[in-house]
Amino acid sequence: RKQQGMHYTSPENIHKLIDPLFLEELRDTLAGILAEPHSEARTQKLREFQDRLAALKFLDPACGSGNFLTESFISLRRLENQIIAAIPEHDRPDPKVSITQFHGIESHDFAVNVAKTALWISDHQMWKETQNITDTHTSPLPLKEYEGIEEGDALRADLLLTGWRVPHDDMLYIMGNPPFLGYSQQNKAQKDEVKLYFGKAKSDYVSCWFWKAAELVSKDKSIKAAFVATNSIIQGEQPAYVFKVILERFPI
């Protein structure tokens, strides 16, 4: 994976990206509701906020073994568990946040299966935490087929109109750690993909993910995106043409 420009991202570094992307705002909103006096109105706000969490969608278009997706899912479920714990015991709802909100694209079939399994394990772990709050034995078992992780090259033409277009009623967050690969390290197929986006520009492979995310955001302002990337994408010659091309094609 390293030879192909793919790198493991630790939970600490994942939070450096997902916290400012969506998690800080959600935590602040929940903290504001929890600070209100106990009342029916407060309980109603908690229920509405739970529904909001369950409506969010997430996409990692280079998901590898699913680290970003599982960490984001766990973070959302822990917020939801705070909601459940804050609602009067006789009226507590079941969890609504689901792994079906989390989508990924990955070119390696083994990693696709690992990512799906990681989400299932995370789902089971979070149900255990919920059971400690509600003192019930409800669980997500038996496991159901989960098609949220798609096998394929995220930059291929047949995925440009399908895999990246996750249906969403509220917000869609696009995130991840795409393969880096400077121009000299790219194989011919990868160089051809870079040319598809940037013409003859010799840009890092990761820049293609920024191009595609910018295209989607320009068409749908309910989409927000953030990626881990190389330092070189904002240094030297690259910024002059990478972001120039992106901003000319998709003005903000």
| Reported confidence tier of residue 44, pLDDT bands at 50, 70, 90 | very high
Q: Which of 35-39, 71-75, 89-93 has the lowest mean pLDDT?
A: 89-93
**Average model confidence (pLDDT) for the chain?**
88
User: What pTM was computed for the model?
Assistant: 0.91
**DSSP assignment of 131-194, as one string?**
HHHH------PSP-----EEES-TTSHHHHTTTT----SS-EEEEE------GGG--HHHHHHH
Q: 167: cis peptide before it, omega within 30°?
A: no
| Reported confidence tier of residue 3, pLDDT bands at 50, 70, 90 | very low
* pLDDT for the residue 164: 86
Give 206-234 pLDDT, tens digit per residue: 999 999 999 999 989 999 999 998 888 88
Contact indicator for 40, 155 with CB cutoff of 8 Å:
no
| Reported confidence tier of residue 5, pLDDT bands at 50, 70, 90 | very low
Is the pLDDT reported for residue 202 higher than 70?
yes
